[in-house]
Structure 1
């Protein structure tokens, strides 16, 4: 049974671009994934896997690592329960002026 992933993202903040990037990666690696996204709360990027919240930008202030979202979805496809702690993206450039 394919994983069901729902993403709530902040449209005001422009997080739809991040949703589109995650969606592309998921569809590339798991073609039969059930994926939906919708605009939601300000600052949000909340990822739910099979009705379990697996990442909250509102709590962590970071986006999830997309490869880890794919891995978690593959594990769920194998019958494992969704992990509730996913890796976060690391910021590779920081400019302090």
Structure 2
């Protein structure tokens, strides 16, 4: 089963490079196993939200910040592994 990862990021804030970096890291961690999509908001929102199979697992608007540390990345990886049944 392919796990779906959807990332909503602030299009008005220039967060696309942060989305691209996280997408690349996840593709390296789970080669060929994920369907990763991204959506830039049309206005300034400050959002950087990560959903795994429609479940919110990381939220900048809920004070998680960016996925910019090993512990934050591992939390997303753990959520993906759980969705895979590992």
Larger radius of gyration: 1
Match of residue 52 from structure 2: 49
**What are the ranges of 5 or more consecutive residues in structure 2 without an aligned counterpart?**
none
Task: Give the TM-score taking structure 2 as reference length.
Answer: 0.80
- Root-mean-square deviation (Å): 1.6
Match of residue 16 from structure 1: 16
Structure with bigger helix share is 2
Task: Give the TM-score taking structure 1 as reference length.
Answer: 0.72
Match of residue 61 from structure 2: 58
**What are the ranges of 5 or more consecutive residues in structure 1 without an aligned counterpart?**
80-97
User: 4+ residue stretches of structure 1 with deviation over 6 A?
Assistant: none
Structure with bigger strand share is 2
What is the CA deviation profile of residues 63-93 of structure 1, one whole-angstrom value per residue up to 9, with x for unaligned ones? 13223212321221116xxxxxxxxxxxxxx
Ranked by relative contact order (alpha carbons within 8 Å, sequence separation 6 or more), the top structure is 2
